[in-house]
Amino acid sequence: MMKTTIMILTILPLVCLMISVILYIKNRSRYQNIICDFQKEYTFTNPYLLYSTMGFLGAPLIVYFFVNLLGNRKIFFLDRGDKAYNFPHRDGSLQLITAIKPILSVFLMGFLFCLLLGFLAIGIMLRVI
């Protein structure tokens, strides 16, 4: 039973990675459009400027940025009064953000599976499990 559980927990992050690559490829034009639209009027803060140039590797962090903008939540290095918080409420921006949200969701699921696998490994090493 334990071997089967470990095998499934080992495969699930890989499945999430493959799904997130497929989602990124499928939504690449939307992803690029939202970055271009944002940069026409606003400027990314330094970390997010780096993430926006990283392609697939930076995609979850950029999607996180736009989801936080949409939810009007605090973003690192961006003042609460910044005009960038108005971006999601413009024409078409909401649809683009909604279309790329699954990239972040699948990435977070894969991360949680990896974290769970790590805790399971620590439990086995300490002979708790």
Q: Which pLDDT tens digit goes with each residue over 72-102?
A: 999 989 998 899 999 998 888 999 999 999 9
Query: What is the model's pLDDT at position 2?
Result: 81
- Indicate the average pLDDT of the chain: 93
Helix-then-strand count for the chain, H and E: 5, 0
* Confidence band for 6, pLDDT divided at 50, 70 and 90: confident
Residue 23 pLDDT greater than 90, yes or no: yes
CA distance 129 to 66: 40
Q: Where are the domains of the chain?
A: 2-125
* Confidence band for 25, pLDDT divided at 50, 70 and 90: very high
Q: What's the predicted TM-score (pTM) here? A: 0.89
Query: What is the model's pLDDT at position 97?
Result: 94
Query: What is the model's pLDDT at position 1?
Result: 79
Q: What angle do CA 10, 99, 103 make, to 5 degrees?
A: 20
pLDDT digits (tens, 9 = 90+) for 46-80: 999 999 999 999 999 999 999 999 999 999 899 98
68 close to 74: Cβ distance less than 8 angstroms: yes
Residue 103 pLDDT greater than 90, yes or no: yes
Give phi and psi for 75, each to the nearest 5. -115, 135
Per DSSP, 81 falls in state: T
